[in-house]
Each structure stands twice: as structure tokens, then as C-alpha cells.
């Protein structure tokens, strides 16, 4: 770690739980972020500012005027730009040392698997049920921890699914892969702007905790936020022994 890095990350290094060794682990880490919208924007910016060495962004969308109410990685000047390129520009402006890779496509489980395998931690920042399950299945297959967040209207939730631990459920243990329900999107239901910042920032925090191996991650715990009252509730998640995705891990 050079002098500039010691200065840049000094507030992390001052923390006994992180120190120089922990910051070096952050700088050597590889993180995959799927979705660079409302959740992925703050997650990507905080992980870049924290010094995560290698970050891959996956998103097939481009910046639209309606995004700017909540997707803080993007700007008016970058309307029409691919979200992965817009977010990468914002991340490099904060921290030029971060290596940012972009994949502009909607991924399947098969195409996600090599990206997940190469990562240390995966963040699900999407708003699509099928994609969420594809990410989860790839993480189970590659035995990589998944930090999943969601936000709609005034309601947010976050959990960590880490099937490296025998008692940890996967996303499909809680949300059945073959469940039939109506997709809810921000475009039709709306979302409270700061809510995605709260959940996305927490996703970054959980990812950093997993990288450094500090504290207690949200493994097997689903935290839910009611943004109207700013009250949190938490439920414990049990592994489903009959889960079609993770029962044979």
C-alpha cells in the first residue's frame, strides 16, 4: 500500500476491525453487481470509494430521465448512455484505482456462472424475479455469497444468502422458483427515492463485511424496512431441505 492509499483509506485503517490488513483484503477483492439502477448505484459508488479492487457491473439498460430521481450514479448529461458506462464513469471519478468491467446484457444462469465464479461476493440489485433466481442458482453452484436487496414504494428488504454454510438458506428457499405472481416494477408502482439508497448502501456494507470477515452478516436473516415509519423488522430464515436449488449442495 503506497502513501496515497494509506491517506485515502485512513479512516478505514483507523478501525481496529479493518486496519491495513483488512483494507488490503478489500483492495484485492472482486465484486459482481447485477443491476446498476436504484440499488446498484449507491452500492457501486460505496464499494468503489471503499477501494474494492475489481468490480464487474451487469446491466442491459441505458440511462433515462425517469431514473434520475433515485439512481445516483447517473446524471442528466449521461441520459442515453449505457448504465454500466455511466456508473463506471462515476466510480472512476471517485476512485481512479478501481478496475471496473461492464457487461451489457440480460444474463441467464449459464452466462452468469463464470462471472459469479470469478467474484468473491455477488450483489443482486435487480428488480426482475427470473433474474434474481438465475443469480441465486449461479451463486449456489459456485458457492459464492449473495447479498440481495429490493425496494418498491416505501418498502425495502435485504438479506445475505451464503450456502458455504450448511445451515444457510438460498434465495429459492424463501421465494419458490416456480411461484406465480404479478411482477411489481418502479415504473408502475413508484419508489421513495431515499429508500433505494438505504438498501443499496446496506448491500455495500454487507459485502465489505463478508470480504473482511468482520461482524455478523445478515445470513439467514431477512430485514425489512417500512420507509413510512422508518421501522425495521426482521425474520429468521430457515433452509428448506427440499429446495430444488440448494438441496444437493
Catalytically annotated residue among 125, 139, 170, 186: 186
CA distances to 124, 161, 183 from 150, rounded to whole Å, are 9, 14, 13
3-state secondary structure 82-144: EHHHHHHHHHHHHCCCCEEEEECCCCCHHHHHHHHHHCCEEEECCCCHHHHHHHHHHHHHHCC
Q: Answer for the pair 40, 125: CB distance below 8 angstroms, yes or no.
A: yes
In this structure, what C-alpha cell is assigned to residue 140? Answer: 449456489
For helices 83-94 and 40-50, give the axis angle rounded to 10 degrees.
Answer: 30
Q: What is the Cα–Cα distance from 216 to 105, expressed in whole angstroms?
A: 34
Is residue 186 flagged as an active site residue? yes
Residues with a catalytic annotation lie at 186
Amino acid at each position: 500500500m503506497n502513501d496515497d492509499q494509506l491517506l485515502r483509506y485512513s479512516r478505514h485503517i483507523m478501525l481496529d476491525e479493518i486496519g491495513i490488513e483488512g483494507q488490503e483484503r478489500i483492495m484485492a477483492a472482486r465484486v459482481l453487481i447485477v443491476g446498476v439502477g436504484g440499488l446498484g448505484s449507491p452500492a457501486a459508488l460505496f464499494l468503489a470509494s471503499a477501494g474494492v479492487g475489481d468490480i464487474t457491473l451487469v446491466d442491459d439498460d441505458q440511462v433515462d430521465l425517469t431514473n434520475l430521481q433515485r439512481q445516483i450514479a447517473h446524471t442528466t448529461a449521461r441520459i442515453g448512455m449505457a448504465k454500466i458506462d455511466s456508473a463506471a464513469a462515476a466510480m472512476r471519478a471517485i476512485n481512479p484505482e478501481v478496475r471496473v468491467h461492464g457487461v451489457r446484457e440480460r444474463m441467464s444462469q449459464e452466462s452468469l456462472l463464470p462471472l459469479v465464479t470469478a467474484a468473491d461476493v455477488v450483489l443482486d440489485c435487480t428488480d426482475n424475479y427470473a433474474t434474481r433466481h438465475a443469480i441465486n442458482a449461479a451463486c449456489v453452484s459456485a458457492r459464492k455469497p449473495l447479498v440481495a436487496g429490493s425496494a418498491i414504494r416505501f418498502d425495502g428488504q435485504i438479506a445475505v444468502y451464503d450456502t458455504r454454510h450448511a445451515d444457510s438458506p438460498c434465495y429459492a428457499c424463501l421465494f419458490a422458483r416456480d411461484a406465480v405472481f404479478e411482477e411489481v416494477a418502479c415504473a408502475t408502482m413508484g419508489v421513495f427515492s431515499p429508500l433505494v439508497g438505504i438498501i443499496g448502501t446496506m448491500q455495500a456494507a454487507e459485502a465489505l463485511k463478508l470480504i473482511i470477515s468482520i461482524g455478523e452478516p445478515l445470513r439467514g436473516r431477512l430485514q425489512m424496512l417500512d420507509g413510512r415509519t422508518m421501522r425495521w423488522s426482521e425474520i429468521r430464515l430457515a433452509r428448506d431441505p427440499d429446495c430444488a436449488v440448494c438441496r444437493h449442495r
